Structure formats: structure tokens, C-alpha cells
Amino acid sequence: MGRVGGEEQAYELDVREGEEGRLDRFVAARLDLSRTRVQALLADGRVTVGGHLAKKSDSVTRGMVVEVVVPPAEPVDIAAEEIPIDVVYEDEHLAVVNKPAGMVVHPAPGHRTGTLVNALLWRIPDLAGVGGRLRPGIVHRLDRDTSGLLVVAKSDPAHRALADALKRRRIRRLYLAAAWGHLDESPLTIEAPIGRDRRDRKRMAVVPEGRPALTRVRVRERWSRADLLDVALETGRTHQIRVHLAHVGHPVVGDATYGGGWERGMGGPERAWAQELARRVPRHFLHATELVFDHPLAGERMRFRAELPEDLAVVARWARGEPAGHGRPAAVPRNPA
């Protein structure tokens, strides 16, 4: 369990069965930190076991309690940039944005400029400092190549209320995803813990020591060798939808990280269709299509919807066998209801 004092966070971690081993590996897995970061915490005397300062060489066994104090991240200066963004709703407390694919949500190493936060600071100068300087106003994230809706807080009270609603699973986030193959069961609930992949720290994976993760899936359309799915997030782990769908054997179409080359393993007459779908999709086929929550101050129900952007809509039309140019508008945001 973690508790927050200012920006500093303290954790008490109970070592469970199957988590025994090196202390730094245990802390890194439980807190989703890099081993380098954990070793720095150990060197700074911020990790204790049984009330005693821990060392990098220590091991943990079942029943131990490890206490970790994580200092606040160093603030960084984030420049406001005049970047066009699609704001589908805005009031004095929040904004709802339809993020394009290819845009990173907040600055990070390798992406200091051109992010959604840079664009938001140009449009909403007062956003600076809301919810912390590293990720001002950000309540939840979307992967760089995932398009769609997210809510941004414009005041600290709104940020606290929305973050609490997200934690309590009171914000409904619905996605459209195309996944390889056909689900045998619909609706399907996927409940499997997610953490860093032990073999590649840049990837996530279903691992016993991971954080609880729950995804609900329903088939919307059945294509030749793929399904178009409605996916609802109950938790918000990194890459959750992509990891969970790959875990059950149906990776997201176009996902080079968790499902690259899936179509090459197919045989029979439908192999050519699958290869053509893979060729046509410009990125992983994942779009945040619906967002529902209670207004953090006024309390009324807010509901927004954004249809598939054109880069994915044209792929869906092809997969359905529709003539080129036929279909619904690419993006139709809905006002709150």
C-alpha cells in the first residue's frame, strides 16, 4: 500500500509466495521501476527491510515487509507549443481531447517536444502545475500510436477528483481494437497481472508478480481472419489491452511489439487476406472511442464518443468488403449527455 506525503511516496510491500529472491528485482517488479532506479534508492538509504537499511545484495523471503520511499521526480521545464489539437469539449475545470496517433501524451526522454502536454500548455496556459509539473493536467494516458479520447484536468480539485474516480473504476473507457483470429468466447473477461517483461524491460507481460489487470472484450464484427472488438478497461496498466489480447492468443492487428508477423503463420486460402490486412494497417489498430464519467465538480454525467479516424476507418471498410469511399464519417465527437 502506498501513501503520499507531498510529492514523496512511501510503500509497504509484503513479500508473497513466488516473489522470493533478490531485493532489487522484487522492488523493481512490484513498483514498476527500473533496476537502476531501485539500486539508486538502495544507495540513498530509501529501502528498509524489517526497519533496517537494506543493501543491494539482500534477498527477500515470503512474509518479509519491505519499505520503500520514492522521492518526487525532478521538475522539468515544458515549453508551450502551437500544435493543433482536437478539443471536443472544454469548460473551466476540464477538457476532453481526441488525440491523434503518433503523438506522445507527455514529455519523456526522447520526446521532450511535440507532445500533447506541449500543445495543451499553448491552448491552456493555466494548466502548468495542475497535478504536478511533470505531467500537468494528465489524468490517464494513451500509447503514442493509439488514437482517441482522454480527459485533462484544468484545476487541482478537478485533477484530484478525476484521479480518484479513475482509481475507483468510475471512468468508463471503451476502445475499438482489431485482433487477429476469432475469439471463441464473447463477451470475454481477461484478468491477468501485468508487469515488466523479465527478458525485455521495454515490454510489458503477464507475470505472476505484476499488478492486477482486468479487461472486458466483446466481438463487434467478425472479419475473415480478424475480429473488431469493443474493449473496456477496468484497470489502466501500461499497454494493457495489447498485452492481454496477445496473452489470450489474439494480438492487436498491426502491433509490432506484441503481435508482429502473426499473419505469416497462417495457411490456407485466408492467408492472402491476412497478409493484405497487415499490409494495409498503418499502426496498431487501437482507438479510444468512448469516454464516460461524472463531472468532477458539477456531478452531471458526461459522455463522449469519437469514431475511428480515417487511417483505421479505411482499413475497416476494406476488411468488411465495402467499396472504397463507403462508410461513416471518420470522427464524430459527441457532446456530453
Q: Which residues are catalytic?
A: 143
Within 8 A by CB and 6+ apart from 254, the residues are 178, 278, 281, 282, 283, 284, 285
Beta pairing, strands 172-180 & 226-233: antiparallel
Q: Judge contact between 101 and 283, C-beta under 8 A.
A: yes
Cis omega (within 30 of 0) for bond into 282: no
- The CA R_g of the chain, rounded to the nearest whole Å, is 21
The dihedrals phi and psi of 262, each to the nearest 5 degrees, come to: -55, -40
Distance separating alpha carbons of residues 336 and 65, to the nearest angstrom = 46
Quote the DSSP letter at residue 106: S
Q: Report the alpha-carbon distance of residue 136 to residue 148 in Å, rounded.
A: 19
Q: What is the per-residue DSSP string for 69-84?
A: EEPPPPP---------
**Cα gap 163→6, rounded to integer Å:** 16
SS3 content of the chain, % helix, strand, coil (to 5): 20, 30, 50
